[in-house]
Amino acid sequence: MKPLVSIIIPTYNRAHLISETLDSILAQTYMNWECIVVDDGSTDNTNSVVIGYVSNDSRFQYHQRPKYKTKGPSSCRNYGFELSKGGYVNWFDDDDVMMPDALQKRISFFKPNVDAVICKLQHYDFDKNVILNETKIISNNIINDYLLGVIIYFVSGPIWKREFLLKQKRLFDEGLSNLDDWDFNLRMLYANPNLIFVEEALIKYRVHNNSLSQQIIQLNFEEIKSELKARLKHLWLLRFKKDINIKQFKKFVIGRNKSFLREALIENNSAKFYLFKTLMISQFLAFDVVGLVKSTCGFMSYSIINKGYFFFK
């Protein structure tokens, strides 16, 4: 019998989109799957939509996030994993779509020594029915390039062997609302898994105005805080790693933090204090003494006379 694949989907107020996602799972050429949908407290009619699928196909499950669990997709994914039974796990998002052979093609590459099989994704504009681009997944320097966003797996690209996941101290960080998949994939990469890459886009990643990437562009400071928290976490985790050159990553984190801080200062957004603190920490971890002095001067100058942009260049 073919191995069971657990597809785990957190959802929140996606009644208008999740049907397309679940229909794409129903259309899979690989039939031996279970799909566990964990609701993060939806206030729309997501409940009735998903229950319709559960009623028609026993492979679907619908669960509410327990009240004792932290709100957020990471908590829902971890809870879904606790409920799952498959020997293989495909985390998935409630607004993305699988190609009909997305499971079959990845599962076919698994061998006893393989920990994950990763495919490319299409950035897809569903309104215009247009492929915007495809993710890059192959690199000669996987960790460095993943840190910098040169290669991207998102949450849906890999299928993970359950045996490998059970060996990890933690799966998704429930304290992150943004870059939670980036953080998860990096920590899995630190564990040195044996990976197989499928150079074919088997998943359509929905690009829309409510996506987290768009919220960052629109300066949603709550999501920016989560992003910087995740990046600082990895600066800390990698501080003693001699085999990984994180010089570029340090520069990237500091530059990104500076750009967000500039915008917060210009808007006099209360997030400026948090962003200043995270900039200080990142420059401290990078041993950037000159940068620490400049950033302090710039923050004080902006706070007192509303000038000092050049300090953050």
More confident residue, 278 or 107: 107
More confident residue, 249 or 6: 6
CA distance 276 to 263: 12
Can you give the pTM of this predicted structure? Answer: 0.89
Q: Half-sphere exposure of 165 toward its Cβ, with a 13 Å CA cutoff? A: 23
More confident residue, 246 or 94: 94
- pLDDT confidence bin for 198, thresholds 50/70/90: very high
Q: Is the pLDDT of residue 186 over 50?
A: yes
Task: Calculate mean pLDDT across residues 58-84.
Answer: 96
Task: Give the pLDDT confidence of 283-301 residue by residue, as tens digits.
Answer: 888 888 888 888 888 788 7
Task: Calculate mean pLDDT across residues 228-254.
Answer: 86
CA distance 18 to 150: 29
Q: Is the pLDDT of residue 179 over 70?
A: yes
Predicted confidence at residue 167, as pLDDT, reads 97
Predicted confidence at residue 209, as pLDDT, reads 57
Predicted confidence at residue 75, as pLDDT, reads 96
Predicted confidence at residue 246, as pLDDT, reads 82
Per the DSSP assignment, residues forming a β-bridge with 97 are 204
Task: Give the pLDDT confidence of 116-156 residue by residue, as tens digits.
Answer: 999 999 998 888 888 889 999 999 999 999 999 999 999 99
CATH of domain 5-208: 3.90.550.10
Predicted confidence at residue 310, as pLDDT, reads 60
- pLDDT confidence bin for 307, thresholds 50/70/90: low
Query: What own/partner pairs with CB < 8 Å and gap ≥ 24 does 240-247 have?
Result: 244/143, 244/144, 245/144, 246/144, 246/147
Q: Is the pLDDT of residue 211 over 50?
A: no
Task: Give the pLDDT confidence of 31-54 residue by residue, as tens digits.
Answer: 999 999 999 999 999 999 999 999
Task: Calculate mean pLDDT across residues 76-98.
Answer: 97
In order of 65, 114, 173, 264, 272, the CA distances from 217 in angstroms are 29, 37, 23, 13, 17
Task: Calculate mean pLDDT across residues 60-68.
Answer: 96
- pLDDT confidence bin for 217, thresholds 50/70/90: very low
Q: Is the pLDDT of residue 201 over 80?
A: yes
Task: Give the pLDDT confidence of 1-42 residue by residue, as tens digits.
Answer: 799 999 999 999 999 999 999 999 999 999 999 999 999 999
Residues of the chain with CATH 3.90.550.10: 5-208
- CB atoms under 10 Å from CB of 47, counted, come to 15
- pLDDT confidence bin for 164, thresholds 50/70/90: very high
Unique residue bearing structure tokens 């809870």: 79
Q: Retrieve residue 59's tokens.
A: 């492979």
Percent pLDDT > 90 in the chain is 63
Nearest to 204 by CA among 121, 137, 134: 121
